[in-house]
Amino acid sequence: MTRALELIEVSVDYHRGGQPVHALDSASLAIGRSESVAVMGPSGCGKSTLLGVLALTIPPTSGSVLVNGVPAPSSPDGRARTRNRLLGLIPQSGAVIDHLSVLANVSLPLEYSRPRIRRRVRHERAKQALADVGIGWAEATTPPRLSGGERQRVAVARALVNRPHCILADEPTASLDSTTALGVTSLLISQSTRHGGSLIIATHDPRVAEACDRVLTMQDGRITG
């Protein structure tokens, strides 16, 4: 079976204060279709770097990244095209844009990945994504008027709107209370895997991890379990 994402002996090295840092050390993993995977570990262990490599935003120093069984492009433009077409990203902050309406926020990925689609069609897709996550009523609202949980639902809808093969979420529940965090996690899992997609979520919360199919642990840039 073709894997959604795969890393083969991937390392990411850089220098900080003149000293070498091994942010990711010979990481290998495979993510199956319709699989939800949590990544856990202490701050600074490499979770965000791992997600950045999988999201094609951080190029590896060595090793291979495969998307749907195909090696990821080496050029920045090629990586961006693959990312925009096949992956959905939820950064730590959620990164919704406060001065844009909720509908405009959710439409953004379609403008980058499918610019030839008519604006009306993009908005219809965005409205459906908002309805899928339970905040269709908020399309004309701006993010500052929403609660923390509602803002995260906007971020989830934006990641889903392009119907990606895989969603990568970096601490998406970090600023939420426990009840809201579990609700957002359940939503992420159900919506991302509904059409055969996969979910990779970096988290400190063991309850979030328990909701996933599989849990990976990291320490000092290595996948340890």
Q: How far apart are the first and last CA of the chain?
A: 23
113 near 164, Cβ under 8 Å? no
Domains of the chain, residue spans: 36-57+76-223
Cα dihedral sign for 196, 156, 139, 117? Answer: negative
Of 3.30.70.580, 3.40.109.10, 3.40.50.720, 3.40.50.300, which CATH number belongs to 36-57+76-223?
3.40.50.300
pLDDT (0 to 100) of residue 71:
95
> pTM of the full predicted structure?
0.88
- Residues 172, 181: Cα–Cα separation, whole Å: 8
Cβ proximity of 133 and 187 under 8 Å: yes
3-class SS of residue 70: strand
Q: Compute mean pLDDT per 10 residues along the chain, 225 residues long, and list them.
A: 88 86 92 94 92 95 94 93 90 83 92 79 90 90 90 89 90 82 85 84 92 94 90
Q: Would you say 184 and 161 are in contact if contact means Cβ atoms under 8 Å apart? A: no
- What pLDDT, on the 0 to 100 scale, is given for residue 94? 67
In this predicted structure, what is the pLDDT of residue 100? 93
